[in-house]
Structure 1
Amino acid sequence: MSVPKNILFIMFDQLRWDYLSCYGHPHLQTPNIDKLAAKGVRFDRAYIQSPLCGPSRMSTYTGRYVHSHGASWNNVPLKVGERTMGDHLRKLGMGCWLVGKTHMKADAEGMAQLGLEPDSIIGARVSECGFDVFERDDGMRPEGPDGFYDDGGALKYNDYLRSKGYEGDNPWHDHANSANDGTGNVLSGWFMENSDKPANIAEQDSETPYLTRRGIEFIERQGDAPWCCHLSYIKPHWPYIVPAPYHGMFGPEHFLPVVRATAERETTHPVFGGMMKAPVGQAFSQDHVRDKVLGAYMGLIKQCDDQMGVLFDWLEETGRMKDTMIVVTSDHGDYLGDHWLGEKTFCHDTSVRVPMIVYDPSAEADALRGTASDALVQLIDLAPTFVEVAGGKMANLDHVLEGKSLLPLLRGQGQTREYAFCEYDYSMTPLAKRLDLDTAEARLFMVTDDRYKLIEFGGGIRSILFDLKEDPDELVDLGESAEHQHVRTRLSSVLDTWARRPSQRTTITNDALIQNRSQRSTKGVILGAYGEGDADADLTEKYRNRKAPPIGGS
């Protein structure tokens, strides 16, 4: 073992924490991810900062909370000037590269105002969330009446598919994310009734193996200079469809029981109740829909784990495991019918708690290999962790990075965090319209400690409270419980204090502010001095014994 020189930052998309065998799934075996956990530390209480791809990732890449960086929903641009892990790492001599997804939207207006050309080195990095790009693939090339969801989505992957003989104007859809009836008719993966069918593609050409090969190709090309590679997978995110043999590996006997209660369905809470009424919630509330999807979802995860085996075996064979820190995590979870919801845009642990496994090759981490930590950690903790691995000092960046380095937890030096925070801005959703909420009101904030979770809402909507000790499945809403008023008051005060932090004061370090407290002004500004003797003589030297002719004098 040696000090980590490189970083392999692996992120899956929409991977639930409890769908890995190392986190307790009884039927979905993930031996390769488990093997990494046996070499590192498995964090059991890791929380994202927003339950949606874009804002969650922007928080992870900047090391900052959502209302600090402002990219609060998918395709909301990350404003020019927000520093990312790539910006920090390059200053420390470590390259920072992307292979896969970011869901980044560039601030084109801000770039134009500053004269940054997108095809310049700086402009390209600003456009790509601070990464240099080996291959960006957000894995999304759906097409509707107004065109493509993402004009640049899956372009290189589509070129690859065509080179392998997959025909059509969009093989991403027609092959990688759809089935076929055997007579040439495409059975779209967007329709969940097709989820139990095999995708019309050879397994080795599907998205997950393709990105694994691209990640390996990137690492192969690296010389002696240290690097960080963000290998960002698209799956198990929808469309829920997977190639053979993974499509038929799992059936109802392998599914986790759905977690939901009739009392939830009968709630009068306008936001929670409104989300259950959304089309995706209505769909996943039906058992036959859930059963179709779960087999594919589990198959996608099994394929991901098999690809981790390919990747980790290659790293071992090439000796790179000895000097590379490896992180495996996800940007959020997936309700899959739990709590009568689909997708991820609320704050149950199903959605906001994610797997996080960190392998640190350094000797200092030996004592904790194969252990699990119940410390509260957040995805914004990864950026400061990587900075320290690259040799940086958090004291120089604690005014910018809002997370905490995980190195103390990885190396047995202890670290405490009392609370984790998450937020969601749903101001551009149909739910906000139905509730007649202003854009400033359609927001929610979550705080959790070692027992309780509080969710607060704008627009005068009452809070939701869960007791995670007595109710780990979060089925009983204590938001109107008189007995728990003191808990709601306490955690609401925590949220208020958190919201008042100086998160936008990023242009001067905290050390500089503290140093200024006791530093005399030596630039000629003298306040509070009645006479020459009321200030230090060296400060008033320029103002004593001076001569100037009086006005009108001769």
Structure 2
Amino acid sequence: MAKPKNILFIMFDQLRWDYLSCYGHKHLHTPHIDRLAAMGVRFDRAYIQSPICGSSRMSTYTGRYVHSHGASWNFIPLKVGEKTMGDHLREAGMDCWLVGKTHMEADEDGMARLGLDPDSKIGARVAECGFDVWERDDGMVAVGPEGSYSEGGLNNPHNYTNYLKARGYDSENPWHDFANSGVDAEGNVLSGWFLKYSNEAANILDRDSETPYMTTRGMEFIESHDGPWCCHLSYIKPHWPYIVPEPYHDMYGPEHIQPPIRSQAEYDTAHPVLKGMMESPVGAAFSSDKVREAVIPAYMGLIKQCDDQMGRLFDWLEETGRMEDTMIVLTSDHGDFLGDHWMGEKQFFHDTSTKVPLIVYDPSPEADATRGTVSDALVECIDLAPTFVEVAGGEVPGHILEGHSLLPIPRGQATEMPRDSVICEYDYSATPLADKLGLGVREAVLFMVADKRWKLVHAEGGFRPILFDLENDPQELTDLGDREEYAEVIEAMYDKLFRWARRPSQRTTRTEAQLKEMRTKTRKRGVVIGVYDENDIPLELTVHYRGRKAPDMKQGPQG
């Protein structure tokens, strides 16, 4: 094997870490992803930086915390000046391409202010999160009384819509009517938006559904590019709507559903912010057994389909020789509560949501000794950008990228990362919960700091903290944040959060080396401050101010 020439960066959407067999699921067998784990390193403590699609991805793509890049929720644009992994990789001589989803929202106002034409090469990259686009498809061709959720609505520009129509899926919205819905004997569409239809087979051939389609597109990209490249192959599933085509729709039943991670005491004594999430419509729905019994088998079927497509992809990479020169990184943008902790969706900080699968396969000989191993290091998804820069042979710009390269771990040079805690943030100022709690937009924000023993959640708005003991309560059922005997632990965790908050994250226009040089550079440029006598400092600093002659001009120029 050789050192990696290319990077295949695979991301699934809303894939829970514990719904893969290599991470311990009892009934859902994922042999192809497990195979990748056997070829590389599986990370057991990989954390996202925000439990929602858009802001989580923006952190991964920029290598920066949400507090730094500012895109704190879906549809909040990434500032036009933020550099992304595409920018960093191109500086290192590696192309960076997108095949699939980003959830990127372009800063149109910022682009207009700077005169960036979105149809120009640089403008397109800025609008697409720094990627060159082979194909972008965020899915979600949803339409309501006030219009469409996604750009273009029913005139969606994504290739997948056109592909379905060309294949004969005749509808104004084939994404909904076929790929994400069932059909009854009378031809009535059974919309995948309604959870009761989750156990229906999607009205589409497996090969034409979203996951196989995007796998094909990824293979087409790889086949047509020599490299060096980074290909972000970004899947929409197993994100809702929870519906999957045959044969995956009935592979699993109620007997394969793991018991929910929750307790009545947890619900009864919940922190006000957490209780608000539990009582939301989504939380109430997923607290119901009938919803879980309809949804979870479909969710498992979607993951099984994803794994089968990974088998197809990995076999093809081996057949074409690309497995020998391509680093493969597989992860997710967040998890899914699925009724755990009385919640659905992902917008809180339990490991159910914030811990994600992360597998790194490095073809380098230096990684041979760690193949099939498991790392317990504290990893953040912002670590991927500096990892990729290092693989590309570039110098990691530490004044911009806030993560750390993972390469020392698979290459056997380290067992831990240079951090003692991880950070995750959630801005819920644009949600109904903020109104329910009577919070202003600057108060509706949450911060998580966790190490290997403790997890603390700070809630703005005058609320008490939440504290979990991850060692003695790994399922995070008992909140210790209001117990006096844990005051010292809470204070110690706040110290870690405050240390993180004090970092100079916005100082991105000068490197550390440049700043150190500036410490002594000013005097060498002629600025002399606080010097009483010219002989008090070295001659070289004042050589231009000594022995000079000038006429007496106190009365002004003469003649």
Looking at structure 1, the residues matched to 420 and 554 of structure 2 have their Cα atoms a distance apart, in angstroms, of 67
Pairwise CA distance, 1:518? 4.1
Looking at structure 2, the residues matched to 151 and 66 of structure 1 have their Cα atoms a distance apart, in angstroms, of 24
Aligned residues: CA RMSD = 1.0
* Aligned ranges 1:515-526 → 2 under 5 Å: 515-519=517-521, 521-526=523-528
Pairwise CA distance, 1:548? 3.2
Structure 2 counterpart of 1:256, from 258, 265, 270:
258
Deviations 1:125-149 (A, max 9, x none): 0000000000000011000012111
Q: Which residue of 2 aligns with 1:16?
A: 16
Looking at structure 2, the residues matched to 104 and 208 of structure 1 have their Cα atoms a distance apart, in angstroms, of 20
Structure 1 counterpart of 2:285, from 280, 283, 286:
283
* Aligned ranges 1:88-99 → 2 under 5 Å: 88-99=88-99
- Matched-pair contact (CA < 8 Å) for 1:154–1:172: no
Alignment-mate amino acid for residue 274 of structure 1: G
SS in 2 for 1:407: coil
Quick check: 1:45 aligned with 2:48? no
Q: Which residue of 1 aligns with 2:230?
A: 228
Q: Which residue of 1 aligns with 2:355?
A: 353
Identity %: 66
- Matched-pair contact (CA < 8 Å) for 2:323–2:363: yes
SS in 2 for 1:96: strand
Deviations 1:186-212 (A, max 9, x none): 010000000000000011000000000
TM-score normalised to structure 1 length: 0.98
Alignment-mate amino acid for residue 287 of structure 1: D
Q: Which residue of 2 aligns with 1:543?
A: 545
Q: Which residue of 2 aligns with 1:409?
A: 409
- Matched-pair contact (CA < 8 Å) for 1:174–1:188: yes
Looking at structure 2, the residues matched to 514 and 32 of structure 1 have their Cα atoms a distance apart, in angstroms, of 49
Deviations 1:66-110 (A, max 9, x none): 010000000100001100000000011100000000000000000
Alignment-mate amino acid for residue 186 of structure 1: V
- Matched-pair contact (CA < 8 Å) for 1:140–1:154: no
* Aligned ranges 1:333-344 → 2 under 5 Å: 333-344=335-346
Deviations 1:472-526 (A, max 9, x none): 1000000111121111010011101101100000000011112333446222111
Q: Which residue of 2 aligns with 1:159?
A: 162
Structure 1 counterpart of 2:190, from 187, 192, 202:
187
Structure 2 counterpart of 1:488, from 484, 487, 490:
490
Q: Which residue of 2 aligns with 1:314?
A: 316
Deviations 1:239-296 (A, max 9, x none): 0000011000001111111110001211252100000111000000000111100010
User: Any stretches of 5+ residues in structure 1 without a counterpart?
Assistant: none
Quick check: 1:203 aligned with 2:194? no
Looking at structure 1, the residues matched to 130 and 111 of structure 2 have their Cα atoms a distance apart, in angstroms, of 14
Alignment-mate amino acid for residue 319 of structure 2: E
Deviations 1:223-248 (A, max 9, x none): 2x300000000000000000011000
User: Any stretches of 5+ residues in structure 2 without a counterpart?
Assistant: none
SS in 1 for 2:349: coil
- Which 10-residue stretch deviates more, 260-269 or 5-14? 260-269
Alignment-mate amino acid for residue 160 of structure 1: Y
* Aligned ranges 1:83-482 → 2 under 5 Å: 83-152=83-152, 153=156, 155-223=158-226, 225-394=227-396, 397-414=397-414, 415-416=416-417, 417-482=419-484
TM-score normalised to structure 2 length: 0.97
- Which 10-residue stretch deviates more, 535-544 or 56-65? 535-544
- Which 10-residue stretch deviates more, 415-424 or 453-462? 415-424
Quick check: 1:69 aligned with 2:69? yes
Pairwise CA distance, 1:60? 0.1
Corresponding pairs, count: 551
Q: Which residue of 2 aligns with 1:26?
A: 26
- Matched-pair contact (CA < 8 Å) for 1:141–1:154: no
Pairwise CA distance, 1:26? 1.0
SS in 1 for 2:103: coil
- Matched-pair contact (CA < 8 Å) for 2:136–2:158: no
- Matched-pair contact (CA < 8 Å) for 1:138–1:154: no
- Which 10-residue stretch deviates more, 3-12 or 179-188? 179-188
SS in 2 for 1:475: coil
SS in 1 for 2:377: strand
SS in 2 for 1:133: strand
SS in 2 for 1:55: helix
Looking at structure 2, the residues matched to 14 and 46 of structure 1 have their Cα atoms a distance apart, in angstroms, of 14
Pairwise CA distance, 1:541? 2.3
Deviations 1:320-350 (A, max 9, x none): 0001000000000000000000000000000
Pairwise CA distance, 1:183? 1.5
Alignment-mate amino acid for residue 204 of structure 1: R
